[in-house]
């Protein structure tokens, strides 16, 4: 198999760095270029010190980009759409890790991103990059819009119950707790260490941007409208969604087990985590750092029709770069777990 | 002694649990899926029940 030639645009940020880390160890991929305007000409390890001695690659400027087989875009929101024609001209396949092409609906984009979409004509061309929901479409995809990290955790936790039609589709309340790396590597006053350390910061009690993609993906039978809040916690990596769903029928925990096993029994990167003993009985993002797993657990409230679903990921992996590599593997016909086999650490 | 495998449902999560002629009444078996401990309540036919749990030693 000849190597797939891959370039990464916006490679000095956290998601870009994660992507470089993964692709350097991908047996069928050759990274040809990694761009950064700020670090152009400097070693990639300048921005990503974990890659010291691992690669001699240097950042280049976007202006120097050559054609390749697959182009990954890790740009700030809005940039991919604004310069789309230039990027699309460089590669037959593009995987965008930003939010630019996640939504189908222009009005939803305007509402959540407070802007008119620069290229609404392209919105229908992208496959939403969650393989567990869109694997078949990804096989033939030329353009992939990677899912948001909070959206990924929430959707993977809830999708089986929504697909089975056993919940009230408009009564779900989701609280996501996320680590600080989700905000990216640009500093602001709020990320200054003495202000940020030790915080439980309720940064998006309502109106979070990922709500639009969550609702679209969960509208399987009926129109879903999930009530979503996000809180920043004092962790670097990790996202965990605690979702309160309400059943529209009587189900036992065993019934719910079967619904999740039907959905995820053969999935390489979704694990059902629900144990009666041991130290880690429900999903724990700490154990997922650096892995591409989404762990999903649940508990039925014995005194009501509420089910609490707990789903956890590493926001930079399954929530971003890991999921992008999984999509690449599917698109190119590689084994889906290629370059994603790291099982995490314990203790950590 | 027969080694014919009989598949019985885990009483907690519904996963398939395999029992055979060597399985004894009262034997404790872990479910691979939900990790709970199951007790073989009878062998002809095979029935399972949840094994009594030890005192809780898990906190916040
Ligand atoms: Zn079980």
- Say yes or no to pLDDT of B17 above 60: yes
A91 shares its domain with A166: no
* pLDDT for A215: 97
Query: Does B18 map to a domain?
Result: yes
Domain containing residue A200: 149-315
- Judged by CB atoms closer than 8 Å, whether chains meet at B13 and A275 is answered as no
Rounded CA separation A193/A173 (Å) = 31
Q: Give the CB-side neighbour count of residue A213, counting CA atoms within 13 A.
A: 28
Q: Which of the 8 DSSP states describes residue A302?
A: T
In eight-state DSSP terms, residue A247 is B
The reply to whether B45 falls in a domain is yes
Same domain? For A190 and A100 the reply is no
Please tell me the total count of domains within chain B.
1
Residue pLDDT tens, chain A, 348 long: 689 999 999 999 999 999 999 999 999 999 999 999 999 999 999 999 999 999 999 999 999 999 999 999 999 999 999 999 999 999 999 999 999 999 999 999 999 999 999 999 999 999 999 999 999 999 999 999 999 999 999 999 999 999 999 999 999 999 999 999 988 888 999 999 999 999 999 999 999 999 999 999 999 989 999 999 999 999 999 999 999 999 999 999 999 999 999 999 999 999 999 998 889 999 999 999 999 999 999 999 999 999 999 999 999 999 999 999 999 999 999 999 999 999 999 999
The CATH number covering residue B44 comes to: 2.20.28.160
- Is A149 marked active-site? yes
Question: What's the rounded Cα separation, in Å, for the pair A242 and A295?
Answer: 12
Is the confidence at residue B36, as pLDDT, over 70?
A: yes
User: In this complex, do A277 and B58 lie within 8 Å of one another by their Cβ atoms?
Assistant: yes
CA of A254 to the centre of ligand 1 (A): 9
Is there a single domain that holds both residue A326 and residue A264?
no
Cβ pair B33:A261 closer than 8 A: yes
Asked if residue A337 belongs to a domain, the reply is no
What is the nearest CA distance from B59 to chain A, expressed in angstroms? 9
Output the pLDDT for position B1: 53
The minimal CB distance from A257 to the residues B34, B37, B58 is found for B34
Contact B13 A277 (CB under 8 A): no
A340 part of a folded domain: no
Listing DSSP states for B1-60 in one string gives: -----EEEE-TTT--EEEE-TT--TT-EEE-TTT--EEEEEEETTEEEEEPPPPPP----
Nearest-Cα distance to chain A for B1, in Å, is 33
State in Å: Cα B10 to ligand 1 middle: 5
Tokens 């629900």 correspond to what residue?
A274
Specify if A348 maps to a domain. no
Do the domain assignments include residue B46?
yes
Q: By residue range, what is the domain housing residue B26? A: 5-50
**Tokens for A264?**
């995820």
pLDDT of residue A21: 98
A255 neighbourhood in chain B, CB within 8 Å: 14
Instruction: Considering the candidates A74, A146, A149, A294, report the single residue annotated as catalytic.
Output: A149
Q: Is residue B58 part of a domain?
A: no
Residue A126 lies in a domain: yes
Subunit contact B58:A279, Cβ cutoff 8 A: yes
Predicted local confidence at residue A76, as pLDDT: 94
Nearest CB to A254 within list B12, B35, B58: B12
């Amino acid at each position: 198999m000849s190597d797939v030639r891959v370039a990464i645009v916006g490679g000095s940020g956290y998601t870009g760095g994660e992507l470089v880390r993964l692709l350097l160890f991908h047996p069928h991929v050759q990274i040809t270029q990694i761009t950064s305007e700020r670090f152009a000409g400097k070693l990639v390890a300048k921005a990503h010190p974990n890659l010291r001695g691992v690669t001699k690659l240097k950042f280049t400027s976007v202006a120097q980009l050559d054609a390749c087989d697959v182009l990954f875009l890790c740009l700030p929101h809005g940039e991919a759409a604004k310069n789309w024609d230039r990027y699309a001209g460089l590669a037959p396949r593009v995987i965008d890790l930003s939010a630019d092409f996640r939504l189908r609906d222009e009005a939803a984009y305007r509402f959540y991103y407070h802007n008119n979409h620069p290229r609404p004509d392209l919105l229908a061309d992208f496959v939403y990059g969650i393989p567990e929901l869109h694997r078949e479409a990804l096989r033939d995809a030329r353009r992939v819009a990677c899912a948001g990290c909070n959206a990924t955790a929430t959707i993977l936790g809830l999708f089986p119950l929504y697909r089975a039609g056993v919940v009230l589709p408009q009564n779900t309340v989701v609280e996501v707790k996320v680590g600080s790396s989700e905000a990216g590597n640009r500093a602001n006053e709020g990320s200054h260490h003495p202000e940020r350390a030790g915080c439980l910061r309720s940064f998006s009690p309502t109106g979070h941007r990922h709500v639009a993609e969550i609702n679209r993906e969960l509208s399987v039978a009926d129109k879903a409208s999930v009530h979503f809040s996000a809180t920043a916690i004092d962790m670097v990596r990790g996202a965990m969604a605690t979702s309160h769903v309400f059943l529209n029928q009587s189900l036992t925990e065993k019934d719910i087990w079967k619904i999740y096993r039907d959905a995820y029994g053969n999935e390489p990167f979704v694990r059902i985590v629900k144990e009666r003993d041991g130290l880690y009985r429900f999903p724990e993002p700490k154990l997922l750092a650096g892995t591409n797993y989404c762990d999903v657990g649940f508990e039925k409230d014995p005194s009501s029709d509420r089910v609490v679903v707990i789903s956890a990921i590493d926001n930079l992996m399954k929530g971003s770069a890991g999921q992008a590599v999984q999509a690449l593997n599917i698109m190119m016909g590689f084994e889906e777990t290629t370059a994603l086999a790291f099982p995490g650490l314990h203790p950590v | 002694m027969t080694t014919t495998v009989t598949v019985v449902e885990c009483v907690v999560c519904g996963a398939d649990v395999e029992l055979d002629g060597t399985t004894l009444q009262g034997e404790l078996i872990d479910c691979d899926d939900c990790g709970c401990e199951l007790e073989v309540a009878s062998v002809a036919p095979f029935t399972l029940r949840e094994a009594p749990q030890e005192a809780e030693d898990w906190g916040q």
